[in-house]
Amino acid sequence: MPDRCAERSEYTEGAPALGCGRLSRDQLELAALSRSDRDVPVDERTVAHLVICRNCVSAVDRLHSEHTLLQEVATASRGPGLPLKERESAELDDGPIPGYRLGRELHRGGQGAVFEAEQIATRRRCAVKMLLGGQFASAAQRARFEREVEVVAALRHPAIVTLYESGISRRGEPWFAMEFVEGERLDEHLRRTGAGPREIAAIMRRIADGVAYAHRRGVIHRDLKPGNILIDPDGSPRLLDFGLARATPERDAHDPRSSSTLAGEFVGTFAYAAPEQLAGDPTAIDSRCDLYALGVVLYEALAGKRPFEGAKSIGELVLQKTTQTPRRPSGFAFERGARIDRDLDVIALRLLAPDPSRRYASAAALEDDLARHLDGRPILAREDSITYVFTKIVRRHWIASSAALLFGLTVIGAGVALAVLYARAEDRLAAANRAQERFKLALTAADPELGEGSSEMNVREYLKVVEREVRAGLDAEPIEVGDLLLTLGVIQLGFQDSESAGNTIRTAHAALADGFAHGELDGVRMAAADVALARLQFLEADFTAADKSYRRALELYVRTTGPLSVESVNTERELASALRELGRFDDALACLERAYESSRRLPKGAESAIARAGIRNGRAILAARMGDEERALEDFRAALTELTRSVKHDDFRIGRTLYSIANSEFKLGRLDAAAVHAQEALAILRLRKGDDARWTVDAALLASKIEAAKSGRDQAQDTPSR
């Protein structure tokens, strides 16, 4: 089409290539923007590349000066008064969202409403989603929202509904304007058309392709479900609501205090959420959560029902997701007289593996396997591994006291456990039974099916309802209910809801301390309450208070379980962290030494070895803080030795420790050793945590810094010989 070519030539001809070609124009532009606006997201890979590539740095320089000039021009020619954008909207409308005329409501859910809308300036038809009641509490929150939106708005893929713009409504609620897509929900579409397994696989393949695209750009959806997948009139899937996704969440997670702003505010529909997502451990959430959700979507499409349908509460659902292998979808299909290829069974079950590392390595790998299936080639996921995957994981989950387990145990079993284990005296048994009844009632009250809960309620909200119900019984049974509240508080802490957690834990602690003072509570339980309070105070950066609470806990543990118990050792190690934050390095060191001495006399086994590795790690961090990098390196190495005795050679903790070793070596200028260790760390972290995980990216960044330093050194060495 000659006309088209002529039209394009203005843009494409003579355009100089920017940088070395490794970074996309988008990445370069964002890097340039971030020079003047620190809130602009730059992915770590770009940062790592810019450390070593002069070409790209000068490209970024160029774009930055371009951007500065154009901003100046815009300010100059905009004239006095309101910026153009605001002037236009002030003239054009007085609706809730400047610049948009809202039409009919298309959908209303737990978190917001979607309207058909017209962008007044461009007359473009679009959909506007308003997050109701979603006012930002702080400028930082708002900045984060804007940052995330910018990342999401950069996504362009045929399977992803494009986000145009976002902002804050006149009432202070965040809104998103996105492409208007006429279509029906995936589940409705499949029901209406009676699509067979082949059509389902083909649609899933295109969905996987879109998800893979977003993942490569560091965007995780986090809320994939049939309601967020529309099928347009051409039969193409379109993914909605990437607005809820956020950029790779682990960005600042080094610091436990700042991670509260990054994750844990998970919003989603429980049935499609991965177990680690329900557990609320922010560091565990990565792109593989989306793979789990796709597994549920695929399973439901094939089987006609969800993999875990019998659960009466969220807790039960978590427990099922972590401990049960769902029935093969082909079984259900067979009952309906339909046939489903075994391959699809394998693919769906693989995606539903409770351990993220047992799912597909990436959405791209899933897409590839679906393509293989559609082409009649053998798929790469192995059938015989499925049982293994599940049995293995179940065991692992029970051993590791993961938040998922804690959550499942608490919600389902805490009432029972408390009643049976702690109600020693007859009179307490009656109280325990009443507490247990109350707990069951609380769960029912918050249950979406039976009580006031909603199916789109997030875990935090759910916990709040449970907490309110439980708290009502505090006066009647202070000890039992206090214990329950304490556990709930710890869970809330796990969900980074520190405000609720603080309240809950303090109430529980006060009730338990009162019981302890009256001789109604034993020392071990009181010590556990003290530790919970101390962790809360640590996260609140009140290290003086944390120090006091840890000491109280330690004293109680030593008195009840003896100094040679895992509890005492771990509490002493945590106490050292509080002391370190207080700048009391000598005291911290003394604590660690004592903990180490005790840990050596613990019964042999993985638990004590891991405890020792933790202490060594603590000592290393302390040494680094005191500026003794040499000593830090030695301790990191010792931690590694302990770990290699107790965990598998490619356990992610080994990867993490190797990373710390490489980092110390780098700081000490031992570049060759650092390079080797950084590469080893990178390989393990990539395998265990995925390409986009924070630790992996950090390791890649470190490796590239080391390479850059090495090449700098080599050049310097060449010079005198010339």
Partner 1 sequence: MAAMDLDRTTTALLTALHDSANAEAWSLFDRRYRPILLGFARSCGLSEHDAAEVAQSTLVRFIEQYREGRYDRERGRLGAWLVTIARYRVLDHRRKAQSLPRNASESTIVNLDDDRSVGDAYEAQRRLSILREAMQELQERTKTDPRTIRAFELLYYHGMTANAVAADLGMQVQEVYLAKSRVAARIREIVARIEREYEEEPGEWAASEKRPSAELDR
How far apart are CB 23 and partner 1 at their closest, in Å? 13
Per rule CB under 8 A, is residue 234 in the interface with partner 1? no
Cβ atoms of 465 and 453 closer than 8 Å: yes
Polymer length in residues for the chain: 722
If binding is defined by CB under 8 A, does position 91 make contact with partner 1?
A: no
Vertex 383 angle, CA 211 and 220, to 5°: 15
**Nearer Cβ to partner 1 (149/296):** 149
For partner 1, which residue of 43, 44, 148, 150 counts as binding (CB under 8 A)?
150
Distance CA 294, CA 350 (A): 11
Query: d(Cα 509, Cα 526) in Å, to the nearest integer?
Result: 8
Q: Which is nearer to partner 1, 156 or 468 (CB)?
A: 156
- Out of 47, 113, 143, 154, the residue judged to bind partner 1 by CB under 8 A: 154
The single residue among 1, 6, 76, 137 that binds partner 1, judged by CB under 8 A, is 76
Residues 161-200 contacting partner 1, CB under 8 A: 162-165, 179
Name the segment binding partner 1 (CB under 8 A); options: 22-30, 47-55, 627-635, 692-700: 22-30
Under the binding rule (CB under 8 A), the answer on residue 66 touching partner 1 is yes
Q: Whole-angstrom Cα distance, residue 266 to residue 495?
A: 8
Beta bridge partners of 352: none
Choose one: 48-56, 157-165, 309-317, 502-510; the region binding partner 1 (CB under 8 A): 157-165
Q: Is 36 a residue that touches partner 1 (CB under 8 A)?
A: no
Identified binder of partner 1 from the candidate list 31, 53, 128, 153, rule CB under 8 A: 153
Going by C-alpha positions, the residue among 148, 119, 118, 156 that lies closest to residue 131 is 148
Residues 510-549 that bind partner 1 (CB under 8 A): none
Among 80, 233, 310, 627, indicate the residue that binds partner 1 (CB under 8 A). Answer: 80
User: Which amino acid makes up residue 78?
Assistant: R
Q: Which of 77-85, 210-218, 314-322, 504-512 is the region at the interface with partner 1 (rule: CB under 8 A)?
A: 77-85
Give me the DSSP letters along 625-668.
HTT-HHHHHHHHHHHHHHHHHHS-TT-HHHHHHHHHHHHHHHHT
Query: Is 90 a residue that touches partner 1 (CB under 8 A)?
Result: no
Interface with partner 1 includes 73 (CB under 8 A)? yes
Specify which residues 311 forms β-bridges with: none
Neighbour count for residue 381 (Cβ, 10 Å): 22
Is residue 121 involved in binding partner 1 (CB under 8 A)? yes
What are the residues facing 102 on neighbouring strands? 117
Vertex 252: Cα angle to 249 and 258 (nearest 5): 105
Q: Can you name the residues that pair with 185 across neighbouring β-strands?
A: 230
Query: Residue for token digits 């079993």?
Result: 413
CB 165, min distance to partner 1, A: 6
Q: Tokens for 477?
A: 């049974």
Count of residues that bind partner 1 according to CB under 8 A? 37
CB of 164 to partner 1, least distance (A): 4
CA distance 578 to 106: 52
Provide the minimum distance between the beta carbon of 652 and partner 1 in the complex, in angstroms, as a whole number. 35
Nearest approach in angstroms of CB 57 to partner 1 is 17
Distance CA 523, CA 414 (A): 19
Contact call for residue 124 and partner 1 (CB under 8 A) = yes
Q: Closest distance between partner 1 and the C-beta of residue 122, in Å?
A: 6
CB of 8 to partner 1, least distance (A): 8
Burial of 668 (0-12, 13-18, 19+ CB in 10 A): middle
CB of 11 to partner 1, least distance (A): 4
Q: Give the residue with the Cβ less far from partner 1, 87 or 312.
A: 87
**Distance between CA atoms of residues 51 and 710, nearest Å:** 12
Among 85, 125, 305, 342, binds partner 1 (CB under 8 A): 85
Q: How far is the CB of 245 from partner 1 (least distance, A)?
A: 16
User: Quick one: which of 5, 22, 25, 257 contacts partner 1 (CB under 8 A)?
Assistant: 25
Could you please report the per-residue DSSP string of 152-203?
HHT--BTTBPPEEEEEE-TTS-EEEEEE----EEHHHHHHHHT--HHHHHHH
- Residue 164 or 422 having the CB closest to partner 1: 164
Q: Which one among 36, 37, 39, 69 touches partner 1, defined by CB under 8 A? A: 69
| SS (HEC) of 303-368 | HCCCCCCCCCCHHHHHHHHHHCCCCCHHHHHHHCCCCCCHHHHHHHHHHCCCCHHHCCCCHHHHHH
For CA atoms 80, 84, 88, 90, the dihedral sign is negative
Closer residue to partner 1, CB minimum distance, 16 or 603 = 16
Of 5, 82, 84, 606, the residue at the interface with partner 1 (CB under 8 A) is 84
Considering beta carbons, is residue 246 or 694 the nearer one to partner 1?
246
Looking at residue 105, the DSSP 8-state letter turns out to be E
SS3 126: strand
Query: What residues from 272 to 311 belong to the interface with partner 1 (CB under 8 A)?
Result: none
Contact call for residue 425 and partner 1 (CB under 8 A): no
Residue from 39, 61, 72, 714 binding partner 1 (CB under 8 A): 72
Which stretch in 82-90, 317-325, 393-401, 572-580 sits in contact with partner 1 by CB under 8 A? 82-90
Q: Which region, judged by CB under 8 A, interacts with partner 1, from 146-154, 188-196, 276-284, 649-657?
A: 146-154
Query: Cβ–Cβ contacts within 10 Å for residue 561, how many?
Result: 16
Of 11-19, 133-141, 251-259, 624-632, the window that binds partner 1 (rule: CB under 8 A) is: 11-19
Least distance (Å) from partner 1 to the CB of residue 89?
10
d(CA 360, CA 352): 10
Identify which of residues 119 and 498 has a Cβ nearer to partner 1 in the complex: 119
**69 or 450: whose CB is closer to partner 1?**
69
Strand partners, 94: none
State residue 18 phi and psi, 5-degree precision: -105, 135
Helices (H), 13-53: 25-36, 44-52
Whose CA is closest to 651, among 619, 606, 621, 597?
A: 606
Query: Residue 149 has which token pair?
Result: 């939106």
The alpha carbon dihedral of 209, 215, 216, 219 has a sign of positive
Give the interface with partner 1 as residue ranges (CB under 8 A).
8, 10-12, 15, 25-26, 29, 63, 66, 69-78, 80, 83-85, 121-122, 124, 150, 153-156, 162-165, 179
